[in-house]
């Protein structure tokens, strides 16, 4: 079964966010896997293809201008109605560790602009991620 380009783009967003600080943690990778397994947006996707797509994204990122290439791919494959979904997934991956690093904050801002998400919707999405990944 081939993966839909939209699925691939959403996976790339999560991998990109995980790699933002050059340290893809087990917690982040687990969250990506669980997200793909459980969210309705990924219905019909073969979970077995996830590592392959994550590796493709990492390969793309490792090349010169890799960030730009990944962001062009994502914005070119996602319809506008999924831009906020992509941003929400990025926020979830950023929040899973319990704190945001400066690289993650910069990437979220860059992603927000690339996906043309307004400040108010972005703030609501960010607040939701913060609430979901709050620790005691």
Dihedral angle sign, alpha carbons of residues 129, 40, 84, 9:
positive
SS3 133: coil
Question: How far apart, in whole angstroms, are the C-alpha atoms of residue 75 and residue 26?
Answer: 27
Q: What is the pLDDT of residues 85-131, one digit of tens each?
A: 999 999 999 999 888 889 999 999 999 999 999 999 999 999 999 99
- CATH number, domain with residue 29: 1.10.3680
- Comparison of pLDDT for 136 and 24, the residue scoring more: 24
**What is the pLDDT at residue 3?**
59
Residue 22 has a pLDDT of: 81
Say what the pTM is.
0.92
**Domains of the chain: total:** 1
Q: What is the pLDDT of residues 30-89, one digit of tens each?
A: 999 999 999 999 998 999 999 999 999 999 999 999 999 999 999 999 999 999 999 999
What pLDDT, on a 0 to 100 scale, did the predictor assign at position 1?
37
Q: Give the domain extent around 114.
A: 5-132
């Amino acid at each position: 079964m081939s993966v839909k380009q939209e699925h691939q783009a959403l996976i790339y967003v999560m991998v990109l966010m995980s790699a933002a600080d050059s340290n893809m943690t087990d917690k982040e990778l687990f969250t990506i896997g669980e997200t793909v397994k459980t969210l309705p947006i990924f219905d019909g996707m073969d979970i077995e293809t996830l590592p392959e797509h994550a590796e493709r994204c990492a390969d793309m990122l490792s090349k010169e201008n890799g960030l730009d290439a990944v962001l062009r791919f994502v914005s070119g494959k996602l319809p506008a109605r999924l831009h906020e979904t992509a941003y929400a997934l990025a926020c979830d991956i950023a929040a899973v560790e319990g704190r945001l690093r400066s690289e993650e904050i910069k990437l979220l801002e860059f992603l927000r602009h690339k996906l043309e998400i307004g400040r108010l919707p972005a703030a609501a999405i960010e607040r939701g991620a913060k609430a979901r990944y709050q620790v005691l």
